[in-house]
Structure 1
Amino acid sequence: MATTKELSVEEKLRALYDLQLIDSRIDEIRNVRGELPLEVEDLEDEVAGLSTRLEKLKSDLETIEEQIKEKKNAIEGHKESIKKYTKQQESVRNNREFNSLTKEVEFQELEIQLAEKHIKEMKASIEHKKEVISQSKEKLEAKSSHLKHKKSELDAIMSETEKEENFLSEKSEEFQAQIEERLLVAYNRIRSSVRNGLAVVSIERGASAGSFFTIPPQTQMEIASRKKVITDEHSGRILVDAALAEEEREKMEQLFAKI
């Protein structure tokens, strides 16, 4: 990113450390939220899935009940046919016609038995589906209640932190604009490769913050001179002297206090 004015090495180090302090503050805010946004998203997906399944079960239930009605209507139709064929048997002219009508009656009786068997099976299916619907409703209610609680929790955190995060994100962009692209790329690369997101650290008790590796006195003097950007040979982090770090921390604390 191009800058309007060439910064001195010290100004670059200050801008980098300020950016680190701002980004670390944003990290803290996001850590407070933790896994809540993902939990809410997962719960929303679960609730949507359970609702869809419940609607499908209800639809299946309606379909089966409609099929039972059709079977009952069919049984009535078969009974009417039996009456008709039995009536016709009274006026047959020969045994052949009588036997033919008897077979028709038997066929209609078999159709009734089959329909009754299907109705029995469908009623059993209805009972099973009603049980599954009841369980699904309970699960949906529990998940919906849990989702409501988690959303409320997330909303409370968001309402407390959203203003601060937006302000800090704008400040982060402002400071990034001051830093030359080469350094910014290095900063982002280091930041993304370390667990705590610290790409710029100060020297504390002769070692880089969070490290046990002692920095040679000559290197410490070079860092304190602020004449060039120096990285820790063990962690790859950009190093600043303790005095500069303290000055920038005080400056950033005043900035954060205004939010």
Structure 2
Amino acid sequence: MAKKKAEATVEEKLRALYDLQLIDSRIDEIRNVRGELPLEVEDLEDEVAGMNKRMEKLNADLGAIEDLIKDKKNLIEEAKGLIKKYTSQQDNVRNNREYNSLSKEIEFQELEIQLAEKHIKEFKAQIEQKNEVIDETKTRLNERQDHLKHKQGELDEILAETEKEEDSLIKESGKFEKQIEDRLINAYKRIRTNVKNGLAVVPVERGASGGSFFTIPPQIQMEIASRKKIITDEHSGRILVDPTLAKEEQEKMQKLFDSIK
């Protein structure tokens, strides 16, 4: 029969939790180096995509207006052809009624030409306006594309320096999590979410919880140093470890960090 694995001591649990905290804090540092860059790049990509769509629509509108101008020019040519035809027919009419009827047709076609020319003029004005908007949009688009290229370059450079380390640390974080019982991991993650800088496990520094100004009573400090039970700070809820344990684990984890950089 297989021998049951001995349960980890409180000290082993504290060391594992603090090691996990050091790894997760290092991951946080790497991500903080990137800062808002990934979001900036994403926003710029969305902005450039939106401006490209606008350019497509403007060019499509321009094409539609140019087609309308062609239609009006064709109409003018047809009207001129009809005027020529009706004028020629007037030379062969038999009475005034036929002559007047043809005159009305000629007059109608002349009005059609005037109206078409008026529309062409309006369409050309629209094209001029569209071209102004296109030029402005193109200039703005080029500026945003250059800015995106610059920001993407910055992000790529940072990723090239840190991505491998971050991936390795995430794997290490997962390994350490598996070594700690679910109850403690859940508590650790909950505290990490609720406190500043994601510090769920901190050492006692100058008689106070790390990063806090609230003094811990000497009796509690002694209990923390004894490593017999897991103690949390009554003010912040953070899990507390003694300075000696913290120093030992920091030195151990620094070797790990150095090995995966």
Q: TM-score range by the shorter chain?
A: over 0.9
Shift of residue 195, structure 1, vs aligned partner: 2.5
Deviations 1:220-244 (CA, angstroms, capped at 9, x unpaired): 1111111111111100111111111
Aligned to 1:121: 122
Deviations 1:194-228 (CA, angstroms, capped at 9, x unpaired): 22100001101111011111111111111111111
**Size of the alignment, in residue pairs?**
257
Shift of residue 94, structure 1, vs aligned partner: 2.2
Per the normalisation by structure 1, the TM-score is 0.96
Deviations 1:116-171 (CA, angstroms, capped at 9, x unpaired): 01100110111111111111111111111111111111111001001111111111
The alignment partner of 2:197 has SS state of coil
CA distance in 2, matches of 1:57, 1:254: 59
CA distance in 2, matches of 1:4, 1:20: 25
- The verdict on how the C-alpha distance between 1:249 and 1:239 changes in structure 2, with shifts beyond 3 A counting, is same
Give the gaps of 5 or more residues in structure 2.
none
- The verdict on how the C-alpha distance between 1:50 and 1:4 changes in structure 2, with shifts beyond 3 A counting, is farther
Deviations 1:43-101 (CA, angstroms, capped at 9, x unpaired): 11111111121122122212211221111111010011111112222222222222221
Aligned AA (2:59):
K
CA distance in 1, matches of 2:161, 2:8: 36
Aligned to 1:90: 91
1:238 aligns to 2:239 (yes or no)? yes
| Misfit runs of 4+, over 6 Å | none
Deviations 1:98-121 (CA, angstroms, capped at 9, x unpaired): 222121111111111110011001
Aligned AA (2:153):
S
Aligned AA (2:159):
M
CA distance in 1, matches of 2:112, 2:6: 94
What does residue range 68-83 of structure 1 map to in structure 2 within 5 Å? Answer: 68-83=69-84
The alignment partner of 2:240 has SS state of strand
What does residue range 9-88 of structure 1 map to in structure 2 within 5 Å? Answer: 9-88=10-89
Shift of residue 4, structure 1, vs aligned partner: 6.0
The alignment partner of 2:235 has SS state of coil
Give the gaps of 5 or more residues in structure 1.
none
Aligned to 2:173: 172
Shift of residue 5, structure 1, vs aligned partner: 5.0
Deviations 1:165-200 (CA, angstroms, capped at 9, x unpaired): 111111100110011111101110111112210000
What does residue range 146-161 of structure 1 map to in structure 2 within 5 Å? Answer: 146-161=147-162
CA distance in 2, matches of 1:95, 1:12: 115
